Structure 1
Amino acid sequence: MIRVLIERQIAEDLGSHYDQLSRELLQKAMHSHGFISGEVLHDIDDPNHRLVMATYRNVSDWQRWYGSAERREMLETLEPLMEHEEKITIYEH
């Protein structure tokens, strides 16, 4: 089992729009092969800093979702709302 942490810095005043699109992306990820769980967190000190925590069965399952057309399409709608590229870190037990 692996945990994928995705950090995103959202542009000022675009948080609510981002939150809606991010929930849609997470809902799609939930149907991907090997997905176990996921949640989105807000930084207490920086309301524009978001952290997505997703658990997958293994790295191959994550890579399949990461490279999917569905994720790329959704990310194209999210990227204009972000101040810079997302940072992804993968952890394992």
Structure 2
Amino acid sequence: MITVVSTMQLKSNSENEWDHLIRERFKSAHDKEGWISGQLLAPSHEPSTRVIIGTWRSRQDWEAWHKDPAFLASRTRLDELQSVDHQTALYDVIEDAQGTN
């Protein structure tokens, strides 16, 4: 299992549109082979920064999703709404402990 962490800076006043597009992208990932979970985060002290955390069964599953037409359809517009190219880091998951509240 891998977790992918992507961080990006958004252009001023683009947050709502960008968040909407990412929510749609998350919906398209739900049925993809290997999808486990995803989170969209905004640091409280940096309102134009976004962090996406996605967990996949394998790197191959994550890479295959990046070739999916639904993923590619929103890529150009998302890139236009960002002020800096995003940074992405992949991590192998050693332990996945989740609560049951």
**Fold shared, TM-score > 0.5 on shorter chain:** yes
1:88 Cα deviation after fit: 1.1
Q: Report the Cα offset of residue 19 of structure 1.
A: 0.9
1:79 equivalent in structure 2: 79
Report the RMSD for the aligned CA atoms in angstroms. 1.1
Q: 5+ unaligned residues in a row in structure 1: which ranges?
A: none
TM-score, L = length of structure 2: 0.86
Q: Which residue number corresponds to residue 45 of structure 1?
A: 45
Percent of aligned pairs with the same residue?
26
**C-alpha displacement at 1:54, in angstroms?**
0.5
Q: Which runs of 5+ in 2 are unaligned?
A: 95-101
Higher helix fraction (1 or 2): 1
Bigger Rg, structure 1 or 2: 2
TM score, norm. by length of structure 1: 0.92
Distance in 1, Cα, partners of 2:66 & 2:5: 13
Counterpart for residue 21 of structure 1: 21
Mapped partners of 2:57, 2:43: distance in 1 = 26
Paired with 1:59 and 1:19, the residues of 2 have a C-alpha distance of 24
- The alpha-carbon deviation at position 70 of structure 1 amounts to 2.3
